[in-house]
Every structure is written in structure tokens, then in C-alpha cells.
């Protein structure tokens, strides 16, 4: 029986994936094998020895001590792409809100709510509607910073609207490149994209390398009057630089899902309360993906969409016992493990080894189950972090 502890309100569509005959699931579960959560902050929280994995039902993992968990052999998963459509639609809404007089037009119409004469109201609306005229998206240039699951969907939508799309992503993966339309013009650097774009939409993860990616230097070269849309994370931009650029008339508008003091009330800002992924469909997709990834890991040792361990998948060999081994990415570890298995006369049927930065992960299928002595010997190999028999 695997134990899954849940934090926050996880969609029932995801939790229903766990077979109650095999999994105990709930917020009060003790000695959990895995956590499933959304925004719960785990920094500084005690870690039970039983914990093997954490799944974040969403893309960002800044609420989880990813590096610390990796050194303890705890695999951290996220759900990239599960909320992509929801964010994409809000990006589109953000662009429309900045090009058309939608919000001030609505406020003006509301201000006439006390009028009782329909003809008089319509006459006044016709007279004043020119105040809320705008421009169309068709023919404008959208620059996308970050071409992953969300960025590529935003690109497709913009192209369908008749926009020209530029893209910049120094860490573009092969999978992301395959998803990307060949109509997207790749930029070699950020300044080139900023100088050519009427709209700039940010879709990069919150990392130390992306902190204040959009700063005063970047904004000094942005196309005058451009609209900046931030539906990624608040740390990607320098709020003081945004405010200065808006006041100086360089940056035209700023749309953000992360309100900041001094910006949320600015007349050139549209701030939203972090609702990019707040749709019923998005929450269901994230929960389902998180549950499936946890089950695949606990039952088979396979890893997909981890942020601290490499992607590893190996089909189960019928009748075999599987070892899942997490270790520091140091030369000779796997050789030492195989020597232990040879000394114990355990035959290896199949195996796979992958590494990611400072960590490595191995799946080894054996023709017979190892005894406690062999398992302990593997655990004692230098730089081995965790050993699990599946």
C-alpha cells in the first residue's frame, strides 16, 4: 500500500486515478511515500524518511526545495503543459485588453447606469465611443521569450490571428523545437527580439539565471510603445525598471499576473491576481498528470517531467525484480553497484542509466530478488543516495 499525502485542493479527477486498493490518499496521511500539492511551501518543513517523490500540480516549483530534495533521493515532478491552454488564452486576453478600449469602455457604460432613457443613452454612447477606439492585433509583431509548452501555443494562436511571431529561447529543447511552427522567426538574442516586437510575452521558468531578465538595460532597447506581458513569474522582471520605463514613456503597457506595489495601480498596467492557470480544465489536467507521474514512479521507477532527476523509462521485464538507484553523478558508482550484484550472483537482465547535472538515476532488472545483505551493500557504495526494490 503506497501512501500519498495531499496539500491544497487537488482536483478529484486526479485523485481518482489512485486505486484505493493500492493507495492511501489524503491530507492526514502519515509517513507518506509521495506528496501531491499545488502552492504549499515545503521549504524548512521536516522530511519523513519514507518520502520518495513530490508532484507539483503546476509548472513552477519555487515552493519546493528542489536541490535539497534531490540530494536526499526525492524526485520532484511538475506538470509542464497541463495548464498551457489556460495561460495561452489569458495572454490573448491581455493583448486584447491593451489594444482595444475594453476596460475603460466597460467602466464608461457602467457610469451611465442611472440613465432611464434608452434613446438618450444610445445617442451618448455613439458620441463618446471614439474615446475607446483601438488597434487590431493582425499585422503586429509578437515576441515570445521562452518557447516551451506555453510559448509554442501562444505562438500558434498569434499566427492564426495574422500576427508576425518572433521567438527567443537559449535553452530550447528538441521536443519544444518539434512543436514550434516554422513560421516563428528565431531570434539570436533578447535585445533583437525586444527591439522588433510590438508585444513581448514572457514564458520562461523562475530560475536564478532568469531573475530580472527584463531589467533597465533590456527595457532601454525595447520598441517604443511596446506592450510587455508577464504570465511567467514575478521575479523575471525588475519592477522598479518596469515602473521607470512606463513613466518615461518607453514601455507602452505592462500586463502581469503578479501584482506588485506601485505597479498594480499604475494607469498603464493591467494586473491580475495570478489567475493564469485558474480554470477548471487546467486544474484537472495538472492533477491527472501529477497523479500519473507519481504512480509510474512508485510502481515502476520510471521518471518523466522531473525537475531534479533525469528522464528515465524502461519497460518492465516479466518476472524480474527491479532496482531503482539514485546516486551522485560520479564516475565508478554504477560499476561498483554491478560488482555488488555480481558478488551476490544476481543476474542483470536489463538496465538503464541516466544523469542530470550532479545527480544520476539507474533502473536495473534482476532475474531474482536481492536479499537484505545485497541491498545494504549497494546502499553502502560511495555516492549512492537511495536504493529501492520494486
Q: What is the per-residue pLDDT across 27-51, written as a single tens digit (0 to 9) for each?
A: 999 999 999 999 999 999 999 999 9
pLDDT of residue 30: 96
Let me know: does 329 contact 358? Beta carbons within 8 Å.
Answer: yes
State the average pLDDT over residues 180-189: 93
* Cα–Cα distance for residue pair 149/271, rounded to 1 Å: 23
Q: Where are the alpha helices (DSSP H) in the chain?
A: 12-15, 66-71, 84-99, 102-111, 118-128, 149-160, 174-179, 190-196, 216-220, 239-248, 280-300, 333-343, 372-379
pTM of the shown model:
0.80
Task: Please count the other Cβ atoms lying within 10 Å of the Cβ belonging to residue 164.
Answer: 18
Ordered by start, the domain boundaries in the chain are: 1-83+277-309, 85-97+136-271, 101-134, 312-390
For residue 387, give the C-alpha cell.
536504493
The reply to whether 85-97+136-271 shares the fold of 1-83+277-309 is yes
Let me know: does 128 contact 103? Beta carbons within 8 Å.
Answer: no
β-bridge mates for residue 386, sequence order: 326
pLDDT of residue 288: 97
CATH superfamily of 312-390: ACT domain (3.30.70.260)
Q: Inform me whether the pLDDT recorded for 176 exceeds 80.
A: no
Write the CA distances from 243 to 226, 262, 269, 275, integer angstroms. 14, 8, 9, 22
Class of domain 1-83+277-309: alpha beta
The CATH code of domain 85-97+136-271 reads 3.40.50.720
Among the listed residues 200, 218, 99, the one whose alpha carbon sits nearest the alpha carbon of residue 155? 200
Q: Inform me whether the pLDDT recorded for 170 exceeds 90.
A: no
Amino acid at each position: 500500500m503506497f501512501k500519498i499525502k495531499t496539500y491544497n485542493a487537488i482536483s478529484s479527477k486526479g485523485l481518482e486515478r489512485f486505486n484505493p486498493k493500492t493507495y492511501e490518499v489524503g491530507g492526514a496521511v502519515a509517513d507518506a511515500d509521495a506528496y501531491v500539492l499545488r502552492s504549499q511551501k515545503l521549504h524548512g518543513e521536516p522530511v519523513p524518511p519514507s518520502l520518495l517523490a513530490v508532484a507539483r500540480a503546476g509548472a513552477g516549483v519555487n515552493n519546493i526545495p528542489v536541490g535539497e530534495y534531490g540530494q536526499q533521493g526525492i524526485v520532484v515532478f511538475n506538470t509542464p503543459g497541463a495548464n498551457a491552454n489556460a495561460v495561452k488564452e489569458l495572454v490573448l486576453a491581455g493583448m486584447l485588453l491593451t489594444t482595444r478600449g475594453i476596460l475603460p469602455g466597460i467602466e464608461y457604460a457602467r457610469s451611465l447606469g442611472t440613465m432611464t432613457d434608452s434613446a438618450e443613452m444610445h445617442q451618448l454612447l455613439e458620441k463618446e465611443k471614439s474615446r475607446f477606439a483601438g488597434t487590431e492585433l493582425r499585422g503586429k509583431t509578437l515576441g515570445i521569450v521562452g518557447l516551451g509548452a506555453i510559448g509554442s501555443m501562444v505562438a500558434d494562436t498569434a499566427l492564426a490571428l495574422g500576427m508576425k511571431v518572433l521567438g527567443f529561447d537559449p535553452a530550447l529543447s528538441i521536443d519544444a523545437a518539434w512543436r514550434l511552427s516554422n513560421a516563428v522567426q528565431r531570434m539570436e538574442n533578447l535585445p533583437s527580439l525586444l527591439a522588433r516586437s510590438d508585444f513581448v510575452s514572457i514564458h520562461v521558468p523562475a530560475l536564478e539565471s532568469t531573475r530580472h531578465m527584463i531589467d533597465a538595460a533590456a527595457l532601454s532597447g525595447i520598441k517604443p510603445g511596446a506592450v510587455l506581458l508577464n504570465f511567467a513569474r514575478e521575479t523575471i522582471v525588475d519592477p522598479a525598471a518596469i515602473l521607470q520605463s512606463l513613466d518615461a514613456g518607453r514601455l507602452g503597457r505592462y500586463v502581469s499576473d503578479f501584482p506588485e506595489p506601485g505597479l498594480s495601480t499604475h494607469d498603464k498596467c493591467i494586473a491580475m491576481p495570478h489567475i493564469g492557470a485558474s480554470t477548471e480544465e487546467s486544474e484537472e489536467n495538472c492533477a491527472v498528470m501529477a497523479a500519473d507521474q507519481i504512480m509510474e514512479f512508485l510502481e515502476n521507477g520510471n521518471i518523466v517531467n522531473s525537475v531534479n532527476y533525469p528522464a528515465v523509462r524502461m519497460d518492465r521485464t516479466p518476472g524480474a525484480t527491479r532496482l531503482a538507484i539514485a546516486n551522485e553523478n560520479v564516475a565508478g558508482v554504477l560499476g561498483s553497484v554491478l560488482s555488488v550484484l555480481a558478488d551476490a550472483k544476481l543476474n542483470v537482465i536489463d538496465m538503464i542509466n541516466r544523469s542530470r547535472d550532479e545527480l544520476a538515476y539507474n533502473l536495473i532488472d534482476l532475474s531474482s530478488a536481492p536479499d537484505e545483505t545485497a541491498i545494504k551493500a549497494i546502499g553502502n557504495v560511495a555516492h549512492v543516495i537511495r536504493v529501492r526494490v520494486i
